[in-house]
Chains A and B, each alone.
Chain A
Amino acid sequence: MAAVAQQSTSFVIEEFLAREHAKDLVRFTTAGSVDDGKSTLIGRLLVDSQNVYEDQLNAVARASVNHSAGPIDFSLLTDGLRAEREQGITIDVAYRYFATARRKFIIADTPGHEQYTRNMATGASTADVAVILIDARNGVLQQSRRHAYIASLLGIPNFAIAVNKMDAVGYREPVFRAIENEFHQFLQRLTAPHVYFLPISALEGDNVVRRSRNMPWFEGPSLLEFLESVPVHHRTRAADFRFPVQRVIRPNQDFRGYAGQVVSGSIRPGDSVLVLPSGLRSRVKSIETFDGPLEEAVPPLSVTLTLEDELDISRGDMLASSQRPPHAARRFDASMVWLNEQALDLSHPYLLKHTCQSVPAEVTAVKYRVNVSTLEHEPADRLEMNEIGVVHIETGRPIYFDAYSHNRSTGSLILIDPATNATVGAGMILAPVTAERERPRPEGDVLRDERITPIERISRYRHNGEAISLGDRRSLAWLLERKLFDRGCAVTVVEKASEQTLAALEDAGLLVLVVSGECADWDLPQGDAEAAAFVIAALEERETLLRPESLTGRERL
């Protein structure tokens, strides 16, 4: 009898586990203004999809602060900090987890206060879907536009615009349609993701989990139905292969593997890869994991790759598709969300973290600030906390990246203030500035893949293209040209050149030694020989010149 019971039990559980195993994972963020009812919505999603434990619900029913939120204050399920419960507001990003029969969800619940924009950006950075709440009574507010703009800036591919508190406006369709029309016009000015508008009442549960009986005029799926069916995960896999090297795994002389996460594309043994920054090519020998070798690795799996050739590769390097490599540049433009009370300072050195490497960086210019209500560009020379702008960044050595709009992993960066160690800025790279200028080309250019990429130039010349200002030191320039030439560099001296000419020479991958009345890039030693040695060391330091020994056996880890 016991054996029979156990058998039937294990049969059911195995089915359950098989179903669970197939579930994917979707991350969404919720944003709304103060009192739009975000926490109530999340509470409702959790409770109505039966994801709240009894004891948690009882504890919430016992302690009620925010009586306006209804008989059971669902927001108490998510507001975890004491200050939040005391003030009845949400201060920090709260992560919540729930599952339905189809999917597992991670919610980043972000506060709506203007001063907490940074939290919204934090929650949005990893989200597949943005749920933006608008209070039906108040209509589209500046906050709503701000939330949509940040969500779009952070590349969230799907939006659900939930017009909440429909119960408070008598569930009237015209209220919903007016908000839909107004906000739709605004959204058209953003990099438009997939957008779904719906009327809900989080308090009463209309169109949250179950479709509303109070709004027969609306026939679309409920919010949960939308979340359960919206497609995610496809874009990264279709993108070009990128594999930032996190760590070299070398347990003994016979094994040398490169540990990292496949952030985009996919990889199989035998595939050709380009190694950056060395510019060398190799083939993947195997994809190693604790559970045995894999035939293929797709995003976002963390694996260890071995290559057919013994190359010097270390943390911060990147393995990439050799047909479609990333950009390589030391200067680029990025959208920047400023996160810190100390404003962005153009004279301040920052540490820039991108994929698995940190490099010294400067923000050399604020090109403009974005007015998030009007989306207009305003002139600015700094960014204050919670402001968003486009800036020009210069790094101490080249980084390997894609535009954020193409690749959220290789296009994102954070700035750290080395004086306080605070994370002060979040950047989304737009495009390189000088190293690779997109040249106009006819539509349907069949030679697209034949064009010379910066990476190819670097792997031939063993250096990046760069204009180096030597002030008025003409004799130094000629000496340096000889030394660099003997080393195999493509180098030239120019005395008078326009910005455009210099940029073109840099694009061609040349080292350009500029003699002019302007200041040198460094405080140079007096003697030419010392100064030449100094410049070469400085160029090696910032990896403009790849060190000769970087071809073999260097182990940075």
Chain B
Amino acid sequence: MSQPGHLRLLEAESVHILREVASEFQRPVLLYSIGKDSSALLRLAQKAFYPAPIPFPLLHIDTTYKFREMIEFRDRYTTEIGAKLIVHTNREAIDENANPFKLGTSRCCALLKTKALLDGLRQGNFDAAIGGARRDEEKSRAKERIFSFRDDRGQWDPKNQRPELWNLFNGCIQRGESLRIFPLSNWTEMDVWQYIHTENIPIVPLYFAQDREVLVRGDSLILLEQPFIPLLPGEKPQRVRCRMRSLGCSPCTGAIRSDADTVPKIIEELVSFRRSERENRVIDHDQEGSMEIKKREGYF
């Protein structure tokens, strides 16, 4: 057998991590965000336990502002592969009409994502939450462990992380504490796309270019999904050929102009197009180090 290529090596590491989590924890859960990284993670989980089913449920934190196509995809795909799906929403906040225009992005994320996530994990009594975050996404993530400890309030202390050597992961926790597990830590955006291509992994159609109605605001293209997005004076939606580079909440995730309507074309675009993928997320740029602040508070 020839030396396995980088995707096989990354896959082997991720499968090892997933098997460790399933074996060392009482109640693990996979945080499913519907995006391409989640799709890759789900495939890795299928591989890790084959021919047995995935031995833990999926948890989706639904802010109710996700793109419609994401929710359709979520329900169809998780049913198709026979995964158990739990959906959690901060109903209270939604009932009080929480949205990013009313509250600002920081406060809105804190309520609909961070709080909802911590509540969802607590309600399920989950002791390990598996996520699809990658270290190449953002600078504070570059320093996070694969088994990342959270105290009993779900918070991260970046200066007091457990040393992580070889592939010997320390999963020991007290009651109430938990671990976030990141099997894709060592994958890059390019690796994920190549994996989706070689493995033929289904993804949400929003990733593929198509003519869509958008608001053009500088470099950001905002898809019109929610009624509460205030139009600027004289602003009109335009039809633009575009696609999403990462999926989040529709008011806060911009599309990019693109003709890439297949996975190889997306990869080709990535090669020529050197901008990091979170750039179109309004929320990361609130302030310097904003991802670190969110993570300390319990955000993924």
Contacts and interface: CB of A to CB of B under 8 A. Distances in A.
Interface string A68-79: 000000000111
Given A122-B165, A302-B12, A290 B50 contact: yes
Nearest to B13: A300
Contact of A414 (B48, B170, B267, B268): B170
B288 interface: yes
A91 B159 contact: yes
B166 A126 contact: yes
Interface residues of A, number: 87
B238 interface: no
Contacts of A250: 52
Interface string B82-98: 00000000000000000
A21 B142 contact: no
A302 B19 contact: yes
Contacts of A302: 11-13, 15-16, 19, 47-48
A423 interface: yes
A144 to B, nearest CB: 22
A97 B292 contact: no
Given A104-B6, A246-B20, A302-B19, A79 B164 contact: no
B79 interface: no
A106 B186 contact: yes
B143 interface: yes
Interface residues of B, number: 68
B184 to A, nearest CB: 12
Contacts of B185: 95
A550 interface: no
Nearest to A10: B264
Given A9-B268, A354-B168, A53 B143 contact: no
A83 interface: yes
Contact of B53 (A12, A251, A291, A301): A251
A54 B277 CA distance: 11
Interface in B130-176: 135-136, 138-143, 158-159, 161-168, 170, 172-174
Given A13-B264, A354-B168, A92 B186 contact: no
A421 B9 contact: no
Interface in B18-41: 19-20, 22-23
Interface stretch (A183-191, A405-413, A442-450, A497-505): A405-413
A96 interface: yes
Contact of B23 (A246, A251, A289, A339): A246
B4 interface: yes
B268 A16 contact: yes
Contacts of B53: 251
Contacts of A353: 168, 170
Specify which of A22, A96, A97 lies most central, judged by the most chain B CB atoms within 10 Å of its CB. Answer: A97
A121 B163 contact: yes
B52 A249 contact: yes
Contacts of B15: 261, 302
A259 B51 CA distance: 11
A125 B159 contact: no
B267 A13 contact: yes
Interface string A386-426: 00000000000000000000001100111010100111001
12 contacts: A20-B194, A53-B275, A97-B135, A125-B166, A261-B12, A261-B15, A294-B1, A298-B3, A301-B12, A408-B166, A413-B168, A416-B170
Given A93-B143, A302-B12, 9 more contacts: A53-B276, A79-B139, A80-B292, A97-B135, A247-B19, A251-B51, A302-B19, A412-B165, A557-B23
Interface of A: 9-10, 12-14, 16-17, 20-25, 50, 52-56, 63, 77-83, 85, 91-97, 99, 104, 106, 118-119, 121-122, 125-126, 233, 246-247, 249-251, 255, 257, 259-261, 266, 288-291, 294-298, 300-302, 304, 315, 339, 351, 353-354, 356, 408-409, 412-414, 416, 418, 421-423, 426, 557
